[in-house]
Structure 1
Amino acid sequence: MKKVFFTVCMLFGVFCFSQNISKKYNSVYKRYEYFAPDGSMIGYEQYNNVLKQWEYYSTNSSQSPQTRQPTQYRDPQQLDISNLGNVLSTKQNRYNNNVSKVQTAINRISDHLRNLQIPDERKQNVFGAFENSCMKQMPNINYSSDSQADSLVQFLYDCVNDQLKNN
């Protein structure tokens, strides 16, 4: 009796809760396809790499294949550009300040070289060495970076000190 009751319950459960739609992966189109019990495709699900989500497309007979629309749609995310102007003006101010910092250092070095109490011929040699060794070999930097501007100023001072020791 227990075996018959168990068998009847199992059959009842299978028939009542049986699957009526099947899902199959199509590796050619790289999507999941949904089929009705009669074997006709009722829709498919495809991954959208741009939105990083799965989108389900229905293949109802009321729609032609060219006009299929995804049933899941998400509005594009609105960009918040309210702080963009502040960021750009801050970056431009930092650039301007660092350019003036480097130019001030070059002007101070030139003034210091002009005011040295050495013969004019040696002064010209030091200016020429500063122009050739320091100014022409000055590394390209990102002037909106304070640390790079400071290292460039330090490079100029070290270079001119080396030129004064050698000349």
Structure 2
Amino acid sequence: MHSLARAASAAVLVCASTLSLTACSGTVGMTPAPDSNDPACAAVTVRLPDVIGELDKRETTAQATGAWGDPAAILLHCGVEPIGPTTMPCFTVNGVDWVRDDSESPVFRFTTYGRTPAVEVVIDNREASGSALLDLSPAVSVIDQTRSCLNPEDVTG
């Protein structure tokens, strides 16, 4: 009976070790943005949604970041350098202006326009639904907007 208890104890130890390793492997390795320590980024981070579409939020290794999906299909960095005027598409989602860089399609990079610090969201459209910016805009909107997107008609008259 003593050896049976020892075998059961060993099995529990192996299971516990496996679970702890599995939990650690779920963390997404990320690098913080240059201004990730800005207090506005903390305000964004605490408001990030637990789910985007059908993708669950995951733990990350860097301050002011977020990741959703397994593998991660949506990555967020708060504290990136704000972008200036650009010819890239700029549009508003739930009161937040976003500039879209589609140079790496089907992976799209969206950066807030007119907010400091800026927030960048990278979305792999092969894995993520189209609701990411809708779901993230309420969290990002806590950063004050100082400039807005312009339509081509605003510039050309």
Tell whether the structures are fold-level matches, with TM greater than 0.5.
no
Q: Which of the two has greater strand per residue? A: 2
Larger radius of gyration: 1
Q: Please, what TM-score do these two structures have when normalized by structure 2?
A: 0.25
Greater length-normalized contact order (CA 8 Å, ≥ 6 residues apart): 2
